Amino acid sequence: MFHKILIANRGEIACRVAATAKRMGIQTVAVYSDADAHSKHVQVCDQAVHVGGSAPKDSYLQWERILQAAIDTGAQAVHPGYGFLSENEEFAKACAAKGLVFIGPPASAIQAMGLKAESKQRMQQAGVPLVPGYHGADQNPQLLQREADAMGYPVLIKASAGGGGKGMRIVEKSTDFTDALASCQREAINSFGNDAVLVEKYVQRPRHIEIQVFADTQGNCVYLFERDCSVQRRHQKVLEEAPAPGMTAALRKQMGEAAVAAAKAVNYVGAGTVEFIVEQAAYDKPESMKFYFMEMNTRLQVEHPVTEAITGLDLVEWQLRVASGEALPLQQDQLRMHGHAIEARICAENPDNNFLPATGVLQVYRKPACSSFEVAKHGSVSGAVRIDDGVREGDSISPFYDSMVAKLIVHGETREQALAYLDAALAQTRIVGLTTNVQFLRHVLKTESFKTAKLDTALITREEKHLFAQEPLGLPLTVAAVVAHTLHQDSALQGHDPFSRRDGWRAYGVATRRFDVVFHDQAHTAVLTYGVDDGLYLEVGDVSAPLVWRVDGDGLKIEYAHHHANVQVFMQHVGADGVAHVFAAQGASQITMVDTLAHAGAVQEVGGRLTAPMPGKVVSFAVKAGDKVKAGQALAVMEAMKMEHTMTAPVDGEVVELLYATGDQVNEGAELLKLKV
């Protein structure tokens, strides 16, 4: 076994690998960029080496520097994690050339499976079912269009060298093909350095089911069952679970054996995932499911913890043992599943704004209580909650890397129990400082489709009316929570003399207090009256009722207008105003507390402005000075967090001036062009 390894990655996967290595008595070396100098993964490793600038191309993709760091620190092996260099055959070859063990498959296997077109040809030879499509080397746009037209729409364009939903577009009609192809190729060249694509028939009512495989150098290969990853946005996974709901034993065996055949066809070694697209005639007819090979990820997957949960195994430990020359710890007939596990990806993004990525500081980052996954001797499973992350409270989420903040994994005896655990754990998650998808994830869990396992990759679109622009608390309860929090803060500040008391006491009559707030872009005024029947009376809009509150642990228990809630409130200062973030079991909300005096005399800006919603790079402009535009018309494309985002006109108007050029880096809030309304 190795005594020291270098982890050629960052964030939660670097922390995850380091945790297993530490348990096994293996020392770890971290690498870090300028942006990650004080990150969590640097702190949890035994040593750390700086490898370059903040952008991945200047640091985490600089494999010569990484290999030199491994040599200089005496590491014997390199764990690539996922992303970055994990599926780069040249990096795997370079490790071997330097006498370092690459903790992953042979370079030949990475190469064979790295190009989607070539891998599909190999799978066809191995007898693995394929989706109809064009996988050829000729990338002439006219040819690709003809192939798409011939197979019929909708079709799916995919980057041949890629993964993670990048360089992928669904095209509904022929007239949209050219623009979609160009966008895919831009993303592909930026993410993978290769703009080749393949075109496939888009499977209707598709499920995304993948098989975890593991192989050793002795010729053994097993499958560790399946994961369902059908719930996706922008072709990227949101929720993953194991086992796949509705999976029959016969289909599991058939898919598992096909995955093993795929791995053996390329002489695979280590952890890998064979991804299948599964067509279903109906949600309640599992016997109707047909599966087709989609791609093989020649690395550990983001969602590997759900497989660990149902098997009771540590897949990183398996990777280390296999890479050091050991045989697989277990054979196929020794593998068992226990219970049900679900993983939720907590991301810095705004689901209500097309999942636009967010950046900022984790001013508050409180996690639910976690416990270990344990499988009892009799085979039953104890309920458990696990968090895999690479950040701490006070850390920044930058525009240079992926938007994922953490992975929340739960495990229960049944799927229903796991769902309940996950919702409760999400309800206990507190993040302030940037927008996240935590509440969106809770909405997904509560949809009829997800609860009843009517799964396919269109679930989010199908259930959108239940997922977006939801307000779980409402104005009255949100205001009541913030007013109670304000009173609690006042009581903590008041002195012992009667003149510093802030409880509204008067020798006679009553006292009132006004709160000006903005809730979902609408201004409201709330009035708190002291001394009514020796209590508090709060008026919010057309709701007037007594307000009762008391401290309860690290939060408050409030009663207002027939609502009872345990809440936590965190204040974030934005300019002169305060933004109150309210968390409760029912959900979370936020409201702006307006400082009226600070805004006195302020002039409201009018006119049309197109501003960058996040830091990033200008990819292209679709207009020029003098063009007339309509509200909602595409004006520019930006790239941030490895994805492209289209900016649209906020109002009708005329373009006066483009303020940046293609390729320019811009800050959040920067005005991209001037519009005359």
Please calculate the CA angle 217-222-227 and round it to the nearest 5 degrees.
130
Closest by Cα among 62, 63, 18 to 40: 18
Q: Are strands 404-412 and 511-519 parallel, antiparallel or unpaired?
A: unpaired
Range list of H helices, 342-474: 415-427, 438-446, 448-451, 459-462, 464-467
Residue 459 vs residues 275, 332, 450, 456: alpha-carbon distances, Å = 19, 33, 8, 6
- How many angstroms separate the CA atoms of 517 and 513, rounded? 13
Distance CA 36, CA 41 (A): 9
Contact between 309 and 372 under an 8 Å Cβ cutoff? The reply is: no
Q: What's the Cα-to-Cα distance from 56 to each of 43, 94, 161, 287, 398, rounded to whole Å?
A: 20, 19, 18, 45, 12
Q: Is 442 a catalytic residue?
A: no
Q: Hey, what's the torsion of the CAs at 545, 547, 548, 550, to 10 degrees?
A: 160
* Interatomic CA distance for residues 386 and 411, integer angstroms: 9
Which residue among the candidates 299, 345, 386, 442 is catalytic per the annotation? 299
State how far the Cα of 219 lies from the Cα of 460, in Å rounded to an integer. Answer: 41
Cα 13 to Cα 293: distance, rounded to the nearest angstrom: 26
What DSSP character marks residue 463? T
Buried b (16+ CB within 10 A) or exposed e, 39-52: bbbbebbebbbbbb
The tokens describing 590, both together, are 């936020």
| Residue 363 C-alpha from the chain's centroid | 19
Pair 77, 103: CB distance under 8 Å = yes
CA dihedral 148, 152, 154, 155 (to 10 degrees): -30
Question: Tokens representing 489?
Answer: 């803060």
Instruction: Report d(CA 448, CA 607) in Å as an integer.
Output: 43
Q: Which residues pair with 27 in a beta bridge?
A: 4
- Contact by Cβ (8 Å): 119, 146: no
| CB < 8 Å & 24+ apart, contacts of 501-507 | 503/530, 504/530, 504/531, 504/536, 505/530, 505/531, 506/530, 506/531
Instruction: Give whole-number Cα distances, 526 to 544, 589, 640, in Å.
Output: 10, 17, 40
Catalytic residue annotation: 299
